[in-house]
Amino acid sequence: MTHRALRTELCDRLGIDVPVIQAGMGFVARGELCAAVSQAGGLGMIGSASLTADGLRDEIRKVKALTDRPFGVDVLFARRPRGDGRFTSEVEAFLDVVFQERIAVLASGLGDPRTAIPRAHELGMTVMALVGNTRNARRVAESGVDIVVAQGYDGGGHTGRVGTMTLLPAVLDAVDLPVVAAGGIADGRGVAGALAMGAVGVWVGTRFVASEEATAHEKYKARITDIDDEGTIRTRCFSGKPCRMIRNRTTEAWEAPELQQRIEPFPRQFAVVAEWLGEDPYIAGRREGKVEVGALAAGQSSVLIDRVEPARVILERMVHEAEEAFERLAG
């Protein structure tokens, strides 16, 4: 039986055993990882980025075949809705699949899910949105989301300018909603710290990239276990938005002023950097293991990760370490 401090409002709302959500990472968080985390008692997520609508449906059904536990889908609502309030055709297709498959949780990893929320609530779904500052926390709270995920500067992938230790209490003060902490959390000490500050759970990405079930090249996973606390950089070179990536020759080249001036706004930068590199940097890094040139999202918590393990083992260790932390606090 887990420590009572680990049984939070998030567990009761989502029907999970421990308040750990595996981030919906593009290219990486597919059905096998999602199912493993949910089966182990957390909340697994499928990342829709890089999938087609049919591919997303296949991954959802894979999870359903592997576990009967709740899970979610992360959709990037990054492209502005059209004048009629509808999203781009790609996002609309993802939402159609999510609604048809009756997923437990819809997460917005980037952008505003506002116009999708009424339908999600009609179907009994929980909606959560990631934010990087208090202004956006208030915006998504006003839009009707159920849970706010406060992701600090230290997190991997698209991230803001405020560190988790400052952002989390600021968001807790800014909104009257449950708040999940993200960014820099890779072990049970981070889980205990976030809960002690008032979060109802944690959103964990980088640690689960370095899992056996993650759909990522082994060299990508190994690079996470190798780098230290300065092994990542926040760069706009891959997507046009600030994104924390593992440092390599591509990130170094795009720090030069002449290339900085060439960076296009999201999402046009995807095509710009692909043309410059001569290949898709996301496929190169995450699928082909070209770690010196590819786009490898990772947070500063990489320094805490020294091995690739099954997702269940990762989650169980987090819970054990969090319990030990709470026991130390209690004397």
Q: What's residue 81's pLDDT? A: 46
138 and 29, same domain (yes or no): yes
Name the band, by pLDDT with cuts 50, 70 and 90, for residue 1.
low
Average pLDDT over residues 237-242: 96
129 and 267, same domain (yes or no): no
Q: Is 217 a catalytic residue?
A: no
Residue 173 lies in a domain: yes
Q: What's residue 84's pLDDT? A: 55
More confident residue, 2 or 103: 103
Domains of the chain: total: 2
Name the band, by pLDDT with cuts 50, 70 and 90, for residue 331.
confident
196 φ/ψ angles, rounded to the nearest 5 degrees: -65, -30
Q: Which two tokens stand for residue 5?
A: 């401090």
State yes or no: pLDDT of 78 exceeds 80.
Answer: no
CA dist., res. 263 & res. 273, Å (int): 8
235 and 103, same domain (yes or no): no
The DSSP call for residue 44 is E
155 and 205, same domain (yes or no): yes
198 and 249, same domain (yes or no): no
- Which residue from 50, 75, 175 is spatially nearest to 127, judged by alpha carbons? 75
Q: What's residue 289's pLDDT? A: 97
Query: CB neighbours of 112 closer than 8 A, spacing ≥ 6?
Result: 77, 81, 129, 139, 140, 143
Classify 72 as helix, strand or coil.
strand
234 and 133, same domain (yes or no): no
Average pLDDT over residues 118-127: 98
CATH number at residue 93: 3.20.20.70
- Which residue from 208, 301, 287, 204 is spatially nearest to 246, judged by alpha carbons? 301
Average pLDDT over residues 134-142: 98
Complete DSSP assignment for 86-149: ---HHHHHHHHHHHHHT-SEEEEEEE--GGGHHHHHHTT-EEEEEESSHHHHHHHHHHT-SEEE
- The reported pTM is 0.96
Average pLDDT over residues 29-42: 98
Average pLDDT over residues 208-231: 98
Classify 218 as helix, strand or coil.
helix
Q: What's residue 2's pLDDT? A: 74
198: left (phi over 0), alpha (psi -120 to 50) or beta: left
- Which residue from 160, 150, 223, 155 is spatially nearest to 185, judged by alpha carbons? 155
State yes or no: pLDDT of 83 exceeds 60.
Answer: no
Average pLDDT over residues 252-258: 97
Q: Please give the single-letter amino acid code of residue 213.
A: E
Average pLDDT over residues 6-35: 97
Query: CB neighbours of 57 closer than 8 A, spacing ≥ 6?
Result: 97, 100, 101
State yes or no: pLDDT of 307 exceeds 50.
Answer: yes
**Which string of b and e fits 108-146 if b means at least 16 CB within 10 Å?**
bbbbbbbebbeebeeeebbbbbbbbbbebbebbbebebb
Classify 19 as helix, strand or coil.
coil
Catalytic one among 121, 158, 217, 320? 158
Q: What's residue 3's pLDDT? A: 81
142 and 205, same domain (yes or no): yes
Q: What's residue 89's pLDDT? A: 85
Helix (H) or strand (E) holding 16: none
181 and 238, same domain (yes or no): no
The DSSP call for residue 219 is H
More confident residue, 85 or 208: 208
Q: Which two tokens stand for residue 273?
A: 């950097």
Residue 220 lies in a domain: no
Q: What's residue 80's pLDDT? A: 52
Complete DSSP assignment for 224-289: HHH--TTSEEEESTTTSS-EEEE--HHHHHTTSHHHHTTPPSTTHHHHHHHHHHTS-HHIIIIIT-
Q: What's residue 77's pLDDT? A: 87
User: CA-based angle 164:150:126, to the nearest 5?
Assistant: 155
More confident residue, 85 or 330: 330
35 and 110, same domain (yes or no): yes
List pLDDT tens digits, range 159-191.
999 999 999 999 999 999 999 999 999 999 999
Average pLDDT over residues 24-40: 97
Average pLDDT, the chain: 95
- Which residue from 212, 190, 214 is spatially nearest to 319, judged by alpha carbons? 190
- Domain holding 275, by residue range, is 228-297
276 and 236, same domain (yes or no): yes
Residue 79 lies in a domain: yes
